Structure 1
Amino acid sequence: MSVERVLWEQDATGLAGLVQQGEVSPQELVDAAIARAEATRPDINAIAEPLYDAARLRAKTVDRKLPLAGVPFAIKDLGIAIKGVPTHGGSRIPAFTADFNSVMTERYLAAGLIPIATSTSPEHGLRLMTESAAFGITRNPWNTGHTTGGSSGGAAALVAAGVVPAAHASDGGGSIRVPSACSGLVGLKTSRGRVPLTPLVSESWYGMVVDHAVSRSVRDTALLLDLTHGADPLSPYAAPSPKGSFAAAAARDPGKLKLAVYRKSPLGLPISAETLTALDTAVALAREGGHTVAEIDLSYIDRDFMADFCKTVASAVAGTMRAEALRVGRSVAGDIERATRVLSRFGEIIPAGEIYEILQRLHATSRRLISETAQYDAVLMPIIAHPPLACGAMDPKGADEFIENMLDKLHLTRLLKVPSLFGQLMDKSLWFTHWPAIHNVSGQPSIALPVHVTAAGLPLGIQAAGRPGDEETLLSFAAQMEKISGWQKRRAPLKAPA
């Protein structure tokens, strides 16, 4: 069997085992990953910065006793520092090149992982499709006419295409779970404070952004969390310590769990039949595992809640653009995309007092959500309202494009203070992804489960959200679902090795 085929078939845990047993070398794995990266690059366009030379050097010296020794990896081109590597954030703003590593980068290297590339992101992670003026369209290995989602779409494309078995990702409003749902992967949005963002930042988007990974298997997701979790001295807060290892949790039977399922759209927007079928599939698998599943309604997670979330993001984007202008020594308004510019300007006109009020309201709703769902070990709900969209499907067209153009060119941002217009733009931004932001606001962990493949052959995952700090139950449950369904054996057909 070729090394490329081994890379394509195995998860990270399996590849590390082969390295430790001497059956394959880190150099062979890295060379195979680079070759596959280049072979699939025209099809999926998922690489921001190749790191091939550095990867080959690291492969020669990596300690083969490390837990993930020699395993090829990718790091997202957003929100994490790699010493000497330009970070673009999916933007045409001049890149930032750090003279330090983020704590997470250091932990990945200490585990034996070998980054071969940085992965594409939409501009500053703001779209849930990975398409940008700077890097173009990142495409889905299951069908290159469709999206891998965003904002960690490049990471998901590289894993789904068999270039790397797992990749760093981040999630501020679904950016780990949406690409996982679109690409047939496992994606854990961790509890707030579980992994550090330092020293690049202390927190991002008022604590709503978290980092972890997308992977092919639950055991990889768990092992990666074991190797990277825990606050460092610069962390502003920390998640509760786990009772044991996350890998051990993924390896054990979950017992009989009390689950709930939430089916409604918090935006009141249409949900496709395929999404509801995927949710039914997850419920059936859970019942097959011996768990009870109750139907619940979260009536207070509504349009007002989602509007408050969107306004906090707008204010965060405005602050980010200020920081970028300070970094490069000039305005960046001409560098950024039209939608980013409109959102940033809107964030500038929301009073600080209103943002504080909004955050207090979001926290109050989060406390209610956490309290009322605490009786359940996990709550199942959708991630995406429709199967993976065709590339370009979320670009504004017709009247929507005209409105966005007028808001931008005529500086009519104050019109977004009109609730009906703001609501219209919110719906256009979130009609594909109604649910993921809920748990970025509450800080709860949530894991994407690749339970379904549509009649057209596209993955469509759902999520299970847990109690704050309780990734262990989610991982145990997810591993059981993986075993029952057999999803870990599914592979995207793109350039399958002989």
Structure 2
Amino acid sequence: MADDRVHAFGDDVLGDHDAVALAGLVRSGEASPDELAEAAAARARRIDAALEPVAFAARLPRLTADSRLAPFYGVPTYLKDNVDLRGMPTGQGSAAFRARPARRTAGFADQFLATGVAVLGKSRLPEFGLNASTEYAAAEPVRNPWKPSHSPGASSGGSAALVAAGVVPIAHANDGGGSIRIPAACCGLIGLKPTRGRLVPNDQGRRLPIDLVTDGVLTRSVRDTAAFFAAAERHHRNPALPPLGLVEGPGTGPLRIGLVLDSPLADTDAATRRAVEDTALRLEALGHRVEPTVLPFGEEFSRDFTLYWGYIAFLIAATGRLMLDRSFRTARLDGLTSGLRRSFHREFARIPGALRRLGRAEQAYAELFRSHDAVLSPVLAHTAPPIGHLSPNVPFEELMGRLQRYVAFTPINNVTGAPGISLPAGSTDDGLPIGVHLSAGHGQERVLLELAFALEADRPWRRIQD
């Protein structure tokens, strides 16, 4: 099969360096933030027509004046287009309103800038981050750099495409049902969804009865992910959680790891199953004990989560003119957002019970981790689908069935607030990356990062440029 990968790696100042290495070049004087920004902007222009990952390109990179000593000072990046940065528009991936320059900078964006990164613009997402593919009713989709006929995942699909294609080494992502981990799995990246409260709370998530949304980053190296969370903790540390600090390598002791291969909602496809089973064997070879386990969540959890998903779409439609812009029109919402809203209207009487049950999920999750240090599972029930499979123009009931069979694992960590990480673990016969998922107890990101370092050292990740 012809190699149709799209990437921007080349012989410029960025090379194939990760963010830690680029920050080192800036500190040593071998490169300047301006040189890095110019090279990244040139790379973005090179791949934009093929992948379309950029929502907004800033005229000048945005740095904070007091970040010169920060670990990532001068490293170019993008902010996902659902977080406000003063002076840049926030479009939420939607055609339902006119995006205008934000008047303020969100709390997380301040924390993101405090790590030293230089923001070059905004990355694309599907409408309000509700879909698991970065596709639109009437606009070009974001495409997967490894195979542009396929989805890069979502909702942080634009950020994933930019990092996987080599435009920047690190980019902002956030996760309300898998939206850091899904695009990481589809694009061969590392995506850590932290414990709820680890970072500054997300502006959208904190308004919800159950805060599903956490921010983070997508990277190509575990050390970049670890360095980002250490840098972010310097800006804000939640005293209710164990300090994380800088994780620099594998842990020392053997762990007890639960193994989950299937979801009650969907059978895992053969390629994904092989990747998870291979990872289990690698973890055993590294000295860990891996044993089958069962997640304490089934079809009722999925029904309740889907109803809550519809509740979020209902709130967006009901408050759009007030919270977003007076130009907001519900008639312009795409088929998924509109369908979720209608579905919620039909079943709204169930929401009190659903909220009670979802609220109890955290206790059931914590019980699982009394006997396990981590749980290994698929990120998704099948590999990245072709563009169109999850389009918002697919009839709503059919689209929902496809989404529920695809996103069959990740929402558990959003409802319970627990950390989870997606790691590259294999590929399909035609080269699409496959990710595996590791979960841990609340506040135990260190466990996940140490396992990630061990797996990365055992078998370095595939590189798109090789």
TM-score (norm 1): 0.86
Instruction: Find the aligned partners of 1:195 and 1:58 in 2 and give their Cα distance.
Output: 20
CA RMSD in angstroms comes to 2.4
Q: Secondary structure at the match of 2:331?
A: coil
Measure how far apart 1:64 and its partner are.
4.6
Aligned residue among 172, 190, 200 for 1:186: 190
Aligned residue among 451, 460, 464 for 2:425: 451
On the 8 A contact 2:174/2:217 being kept in 1, the answer is yes
The aligned counterpart of 1:153 is 157
Q: Secondary structure at the match of 1:251?
A: coil
Instruction: Find the aligned partners of 1:304 and 1:201 in 2 and give their Cα distance.
Output: 23
Aligned residue among 123, 128, 132 for 1:119: 123
Instruction: Find the aligned partners of 2:269 and 2:434 in 1 and give their Cα distance.
Output: 11
The aligned counterpart of 1:334 is 331
Aligned residue among 76, 80, 84 for 1:81: 84
Distance 1:70 1:330, change over 3 A: closer
The aligned counterpart of 2:48 is 41
Distance 1:303 1:354, change over 3 A: same
Q: Output one character per residue of 1:296-341: Cα deviation in whole Å (capped at 9) or x when no partner.
A: 123x411111110010111121112212133434662222112211
Aligned residue among 381, 385, 389 for 2:385: 389
Distance 1:3 1:106, change over 3 A: farther
Measure how far apart 1:396 and its partner are.
7.2
Instruction: Find the aligned partners of 1:162 and 1:370 in 2 and give their Cα distance.
Output: 38
Q: Output one character per residue of 1:138-191: Cα deviation in whole Å (capped at 9) or x when no partner.
A: 011111111110000000000000001010000011100000000010000111
Measure how far apart 1:205 and its partner are.
6.8
Instruction: Find the aligned partners of 2:67 and 2:403 in 1 and give their Cα distance.
Output: 46
Distance 1:62 1:71, change over 3 A: farther
Aligned residue among 261, 266, 269 for 2:264: 266
The aligned counterpart of 2:23 is 16
The AA in structure 2 aligned to 1:132 is Y
The AA in structure 2 aligned to 1:264 is D
Q: Could you tell me the percent identity over the aligned residues? A: 34
Equivalenced residue count is 456
Q: Output one character per residue of 1:324-373: Cα deviation in whole Å (capped at 9) or x when no partner.
A: 1334346622221122112113324443x632221111222331222123
| 1:306 lines up with 2:302 in the alignment | yes
The aligned counterpart of 1:251 is 249
On the 8 A contact 2:419/2:443 being kept in 1, the answer is yes
Measure how far apart 1:68 and its partner are.
0.7
The AA in structure 2 aligned to 1:265 is S
| 1:213 lines up with 2:209 in the alignment | no
Measure how far apart 1:390 and its partner are.
1.1
Instruction: Find the aligned partners of 1:433 and 1:239 in 2 and give their Cα distance.
Output: 32
Distance 1:303 1:17, change over 3 A: same
Instruction: Find the aligned partners of 2:373 and 2:342 in 1 and give their Cα distance.
Output: 41
Instruction: Find the aligned partners of 1:457 and 1:476 in 2 and give their Cα distance.
Output: 27
Distance 1:264 1:54, change over 3 A: same
Q: Secondary structure at the match of 2:311?
A: helix
The aligned counterpart of 1:346 is 343
On the 8 A contact 1:169/1:211 being kept in 2, the answer is yes
Instruction: Find the aligned partners of 1:280 and 1:182 in 2 and give their Cα distance.
Output: 18
Instruction: Find the aligned partners of 1:20 and 1:184 in 2 and give their Cα distance.
Output: 29
| 1:170 lines up with 2:170 in the alignment | no
Distance 1:222 1:363, change over 3 A: same
Q: Secondary structure at the match of 1:145?
A: coil
Aligned residue among 298, 316, 319 for 1:320: 316
How is 1:22-101 mapped onto 2 (pairs within 5 angstroms)?
22-51=29-58, 53-55=59-61, 58=63, 64-78=68-82, 80-92=83-95, 93-101=97-105
Q: Secondary structure at the match of 2:60?
A: helix
Q: Secondary structure at the match of 2:297?
A: coil
Distance 1:62 1:43, change over 3 A: farther
On the 8 A contact 2:79/2:171 being kept in 1, the answer is yes
The AA in structure 1 aligned to 2:36 is L
Instruction: Find the aligned partners of 2:102 and 2:81 in 1 and give their Cα distance.
Output: 12
The aligned counterpart of 2:4 is none
Distance 1:483 1:205, change over 3 A: farther
Measure how far apart 1:200 and its partner are.
6.3
The AA in structure 1 aligned to 2:242 is P
| 1:355 lines up with 2:329 in the alignment | no
On the 8 A contact 1:384/1:434 being kept in 2, the answer is yes
Instruction: Find the aligned partners of 2:351 and 2:182 in 1 and give their Cα distance.
Output: 26
Distance 1:243 1:342, change over 3 A: closer
On the 8 A contact 2:56/2:121 being kept in 1, the answer is yes
The AA in structure 2 aligned to 1:209 is V
The aligned counterpart of 1:439 is 413
Instruction: Find the aligned partners of 1:36 and 1:330 in 2 and give their Cα distance.
Output: 34
Instruction: Find the aligned partners of 2:377 and 2:109 in 1 and give their Cα distance.
Output: 32
Q: Output one character per residue of 1:391-429: Cα deviation in whole Å (capped at 9) or x when no partner.
A: 1122378xx73xx4xxxxxxxxxxxxxxxx7xx764222
Instruction: Find the aligned partners of 2:21 and 2:392 in 1 and give their Cα distance.
Output: 43
| 1:286 lines up with 2:246 in the alignment | no
Q: Output one character per residue of 1:52-104: Cα deviation in whole Å (capped at 9) or x when no partner.
A: x221x759x786533111100111011x1100111111101221532111122
On the 8 A contact 2:205/2:213 being kept in 1, the answer is no
Distance 1:230 1:362, change over 3 A: farther
Distance 1:486 1:393, change over 3 A: same
Structure 2's unaligned 5+ residue stretches are 1-8
On the 8 A contact 1:19/1:64 being kept in 2, the answer is no
Distance 1:369 1:63, change over 3 A: closer
Distance 1:266 1:8, change over 3 A: farther
Q: Secondary structure at the match of 2:92?
A: coil
Aligned residue among 448, 451, 456 for 1:474: 448
On the 8 A contact 1:193/1:231 being kept in 2, the answer is no
Measure how far apart 1:134 and its partner are.
5.8
The AA in structure 2 aligned to 1:202 is R
Instruction: Find the aligned partners of 1:232 and 1:199 in 2 and give their Cα distance.
Output: 16
Structure 1's unaligned 5+ residue stretches are 405-420
Aligned residue among 259, 273, 277 for 1:276: 273
Instruction: Find the aligned partners of 2:209 and 2:68 in 1 and give their Cα distance.
Output: 38
TM-score (norm 2): 0.91
On the 8 A contact 1:316/1:347 being kept in 2, the answer is no
